[in-house]
Amino acid sequence: MSYLWLLPLLLLLSFTLTAALRKYALSRSIIDIPNARSSHSAPTPRGGGVAIVISFFLIFPILSIEGIVPLADLMAIGGSGIFIAIIGFMDDHGHIAARWRLLGHGVSAAWALFWINGLPPLSFFGVNIDFGWFGTICAAFYLVWMLNLYNFMDGIDGIASVEAVSSCLCMCILYWWSGHEYLIILPACLIMSVAGFLLWNFPPAKIFMGDAGSGFLGIALGVLSLQAAWISTQLFWAWIILFGIFIVDATFTLVRRVIRKDKIYEAHRSHGYQFAARLYGKHYPVTVAVGLINIFWLFPVAISVVLFNFDGLTGVLLAYLPLILLAVIFNSGAVEASDGQAEK
């Protein structure tokens, strides 16, 4: 039985739910008001990412009952994703102290790793290494960093949605070409759930994702990459390659802020993509550039790793070098001057 009919249904459901959430946010004044740390200039309703979460998880009963996806995989991404979405939703509607958010992030990561049995052995320069319990701890930090960096990178219209759609689309193609078609269903469903929201969020955005959506996408993508790692180390490296723009910009920015002894928990506009958006005077070219870089640079490198047995870690280093250069060019992590650009 074909389940392709579910994909356009997810797209329609996500689009409709986003419209309803936008109406709800406007009626309840759940509005993101621009301030000195904002990258937008007009008041915009927020919390639309809940539509992604709801539409994505509504498909889980069918996937479970029909045995399309192993129950452990559904439990890993379902439990952790829902918990992170709830934390984000509560933070969107009020405020949760950073320490409690971080505790929740750790619990969610532990839940996911319990169901997927931690971190599998990975290949580094042709050598397979099983890190055991230390690897599981590293995987937990990886998931927590993924959900937080996704929140950090959700700062201009459409960028987080485009990153999720383009990276998942590339991985679906790689799964197909490499003979792992059974892995396609979850990222394909995520694509449709995000795409319905993206139709409202593409520049100029009519609604923002909010922490519920960005945190959920971060941990969901992280879990998908670890699930793939149990099938093939090369598939894991391909995911890491496709996450390159977000990983490089967020990490580069964080390191510079830590070195400068900034309060890293405070909101800021010093990511490279934010400087780029202010330089070009709009969000559209930066958001589109993210999708184009993923498809025309990172995807070919990922192809070489998965299909032509190019060393995975070498592929990551090769893929990231131009991204690091872009981070330098666009001053990721620099101090913002009064005109919104980086200080010289």
Confidence of residue 316 (pLDDT cuts 50, 70, 90): very high
Whole-number pLDDT of residue 1: 45
Q: Whole-angstrom Cα distance, residue 304 to residue 233?
A: 13
User: With 90 as the cut, is the pLDDT of residue 188 above it?
Assistant: yes
Residue 321 vs residue 126, higher pLDDT: 321
Q: How far apart are CA 230 and CA 221, in angstroms?
A: 15
- Asked whether residue 211 is marked as a ligand-binding residue, the answer is yes
Matching residue, tokens 């405070």: 266
Residue 108 has a pLDDT of: 97
Buried/exposed code over 216-236 (b: 16+ C-beta within 10 A; e: otherwise): bbbbbbbbbbbbbbbebbbbb
Of the ranges 32-41, 268-277, 329-338, which one carries the lowest mean pLDDT score?
32-41
Residue 30 confidence (pLDDT):
81
Angle subtended by helix axes 312-329 and 244-259, to nearest 10: 60
Confidence of residue 184 (pLDDT cuts 50, 70, 90): very high
Report whether 151 belongs to an annotated binding site. Answer: yes
pLDDT of 300 strictly over 70? yes
Does the pLDDT value for residue 266 go beyond 90? Answer: no
Using the predicted structure, report yes or no on whether residue 195 has a pLDDT greater than 70. yes
**pLDDT category of residue 41 using cuts at 50, 70 and 90:** low
The pLDDT of residue 42 is 77
The predicted structure's pLDDT at residue 273: 96
Residue ranges per structural domain of the chain: 8-22+42-329
Which residues touch 9 (CB under 8 Å, ≥6 apart)?
none
The pLDDT of residue 21 is 95
Cis peptide before 204 (omega within 30 of 0): yes
